[in-house]
Amino acid sequence: MIIVMREGASRREIDEVQEEIKRMGYTPHPIIGVERTVIGAIGDERDKARLQELETAPGVERVIPILKPYKLAGLELKKEKSLVAVGRDAVFGGKRIPVIAGPCSVESHEQICRTAEAVKAAGATLLRGGAYKPRTSPYAFQGLEEEGLKMLAAARDCTGLPVVTEVMKESVLDLVARYADVLQIGARNMQNFDLLKAVGQLRKPILLKRGLANTVREWLMSAEYIMAQGNMQVILCERGIRTFETATRNTLDLSAISVLRRETHLPVVVDPSHATGVAAYVESMTLAAVAAGADGIMIEVHPNPHEAWSDGAQSLTPAAFAGVMGKAKAVAAAVGREI
Ligand code: PEP
Ligand code: MN
């Protein structure tokens, strides 16, 4: 339910309504606007009608139901786009589009530092690299784990770039959170509800990738799991979905950006690397994503893609990445954004 306070409602009235919401067993989520405050009352859907009683409380103008199943992620409670800030320079959801770049996997100190310096020189604002890798084969490289996290932290120290890295399981969540500036929930874990609840307890940005075969609605419900725990810093990441087409690794659903714009205030990043699986297609899909209104881009870059321990076929060389950045800046300018 949304409790709409009157214009000019006092601090005390707002506090009292929040206390009453808690007494009824719901969690209040106040959103303080320029003209008025609205309070989302989130919790058990079954007897939410009781919240209607608040309509007679001092300072309350009306109580209206939230129709969409994603209460906090949707636009009914919060209409303004959410800004998710990372480090000193990157803000997802603003005019400037942050670019996350780096290798699929962290392989060595030298590899991650060299990549970090190269992508920074080309204009990237965040560094990516996996230390825990969800691999199709149990015999494939699984990641350097804590050693990899330390290498990422070293690369951050020498470049100043904040770090995005994946957490696959709750047992290492505290460890990953100690090193990461943004925690990535990978496509395969998009509906790992216990993991979503656990990252919801953090107060750090979460990059929530779309599941391989999940609808936009399911994706937003996963965002809702994180937000319901109080962590509002959710960034969505479209990374392609499974279709009948096999010419590309996945099918990039660019229209998801437009759909999400009408459904959520959360920022949307596009990952053309995992979406296409082919380095040669990354540039065009990056430009298309920027033109379509993406709030961020994530690109895999490796100093020597042929020798990459994972996802070499879709990784760009630093030189190719610099070329993409040059063109992406021009497209961003054409649509009123900046890179
Ligand atoms: C990744 O970003 O390295 C990754 C494994 O992506 P996804 O979960 O989208 O497959
Ligand atoms: Mn990868």
- Give the CATH number of domain 84-334: 3.20.20.70
**186 C-alpha to ligand 1 centroid (Å):** 5
Q: How far is CA 236 from CA 51, 203, 297, in A?
A: 31, 16, 11
- For the chain, report the end-to-end CA distance as a whole number of angstroms: 38
Q: What is the pLDDT of residue 208?
A: 98
Q: What is the pLDDT of residue 154?
A: 98
Measured N-to-C along each axis, helices 109-121 and 146-159 cross at an angle, to the nearest 10 degrees, of 40
Mean pLDDT of 47-70: 92
- Structure tokens belonging to residue 312: 């070499």
Sort residue 106 into left (φ over 0), alpha (ψ -120 to 50) or beta. Answer: beta
Mean pLDDT of 213-224: 98
pLDDT at 251 over 90: yes
**210 C-alpha to ligand 1 centroid (Å):** 10
- Structure tokens belonging to residue 170: 């709750």
The fraction of the chain above a pLDDT of 90, given in percent, is: 95
Give the 3-state secondary structure of residue 183. Answer: strand
pLDDT at 34 over 90: no
Which residues are paired to 126 by β-bridges?
Answer: 100
Q: 239 in ligand 1 pocket by Cβ < 6 Å? A: yes
Q: What is the pLDDT of residue 44?
A: 87
Q: Which CATH architecture has domain 2-64?
A: 2-Layer Sandwich (3.30)
Contact 90, 125 (CB under 8 A): yes
Helices and strands counted in the chain (H then E): 10, 14
Measured N-to-C along each axis, helices 193-200 and 216-228 cross at an angle, to the nearest 10 degrees, of 40
Q: What is the pLDDT of residues 142-183, one digit of tens each?
A: 999 999 999 999 999 999 999 999 999 999 999 999 999 999
Q: 230 in ligand 1 pocket by Cβ < 6 Å? A: no
Could you tell me the pLDDT band of residue 250, with boundaries at 50, 70 and 90?
very high
> φ, ψ for residue 45 (rounded to 5)?
-75, -20
pLDDT at 310 over 90: yes
**Of the ligands numbered here, which is closest to the C-alpha atom of 165?**
1
**Of the ligands numbered here, which is closest to the C-alpha atom of 310?**
2
Q: What is the pLDDT of residues 182-193, one digit of tens each?
A: 999 999 999 999
Tell me the best of 105, 112, 115, 184 to mutate to test the pocket of ligand 1, counting ligand atoms within 8 Å of each CB and taking the most.
184
Pick the closest to residue 150 from 107, 179, 183, 126 (CA basis). Answer: 179
- Using alpha carbons only, give the angle 177, 188, 244 rounded to the nearest 5 degrees: 150
Q: Where are the domains of the chain?
A: 2-64, 84-334
Measured distance CA(60)–CA(53) in Å, rounded: 10
Q: What is the pLDDT of residues 71-114, one digit of tens each?
A: 999 999 999 999 999 999 999 999 999 999 999 999 999 999 99
Could you tell me the pLDDT band of residue 48, with boundaries at 50, 70 and 90?
confident
Q: What is the pLDDT of residue 305?
A: 98
- Structure tokens belonging to residue 10: 């006092």
Measured distance CA(34)–CA(48) in Å, rounded: 28
Ligand 1 atom index nearest CA of 239: 9
Q: What is the pLDDT of residue 40?
A: 94
Could you tell me the pLDDT band of residue 47, with boundaries at 50, 70 and 90?
confident
Tell me the best of 141, 206, 237, 239 to mutate to test the pocket of ligand 1, counting ligand atoms within 8 Å of each CB and taking the most.
239
| Cβ contacts of 149 within 8 Å, gap of 6 or more | 106, 131, 165, 175, 176, 178, 179, 180
Q: 274 in ligand 1 pocket by Cβ < 6 Å? A: yes
pLDDT at 252 over 90: yes
Sign of the torsion formed by the C-alpha atoms of 23, 24, 26 and 27:
negative
**333 C-alpha to ligand 1 centroid (Å):** 29
Mean pLDDT of 101-128: 98
Mean pLDDT of 31-46: 88
Chain-wide mean pLDDT for the chain? 96
